[in-house]
């Protein structure tokens, strides 16, 4: 039984090593996307989230990015100054301001990912989805 326990611990050790390597490579992936750009990782993530969500309030952005409301203002100001996003009033409640992606912002997303072959991006997306599903099953 002790031999099975050692094997189990070795497997967990391997998983942790792989997760750390994925973390390192993920950072390199983001660095490559943003290379030569005036965008930070937070800017990039927000552009993609706005593409996915359609619009977001500043409080939702702060929660999503795990940053302060002041940081959200700074991030959004920079993206708005470059015409990647715009602030709009919610038609149902004019007191609520939402951030939306502009056509230029959508074009920027396409441009950033044109640095990678489509088939490789598809493989990566599929594999990462499978890893996330496996992790969801055990956590």
According to DSSP, the residues that pair with 89 across neighbouring strands are 97
pLDDT per residue, tens digit, the chain (139 aa), is 567 788 889 999 999 999 999 999 988 888 888 888 888 888 989 999 999 999 999 999 999 999 999 999 999 999 999 999 999 998 888 888 999 999 999 999 988 888 888 898 899 999 999 998 998 888 7
According to DSSP, the residues that pair with 97 across neighbouring strands are 89
Chain-centroid distance, C-alpha 129: 14
- For residue 2, the model assigns a pLDDT of 65
pTM of the model: 0.74
DSSP secondary structure, 117-136, as one string: -HHHHHHHHHHHHHHHHHHH
User: Considering only CA atoms, which of 78, 65, 76, 82 is closest in space to residue 100?
Assistant: 76
- For residue 36, the model assigns a pLDDT of 85
- For residue 71, the model assigns a pLDDT of 94
């Amino acid at each position: 039984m002790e031999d099975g326990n050692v094997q189990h611990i070795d497997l967990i050790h391997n998983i942790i090593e792989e997760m750390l390597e994925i973390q390192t490579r993920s950072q390199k992936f983001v660095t490559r996307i943003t290379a030569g750009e005036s965008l930070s990782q937070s800017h990039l993530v927000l552009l993609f989230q706005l593409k996915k969500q359609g619009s977001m309030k500043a409080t939702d952005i702060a929660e999503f990015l795990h940053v302060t409301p002041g940081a959200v203002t700074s991030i959004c100001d920079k993206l708005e100054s470059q015409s990647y996003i715009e602030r709009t009033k919610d038609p149902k409640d004019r007191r609520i301001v939402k951030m939306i992606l502009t056509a230029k912002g959508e074009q920027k997303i396409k441009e950033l990912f044109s640095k990678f072959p489509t088939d490789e991006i598809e493989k990566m997306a599929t594999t990462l989805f499978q890893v996330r599903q496996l992790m969801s099953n055990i956590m």
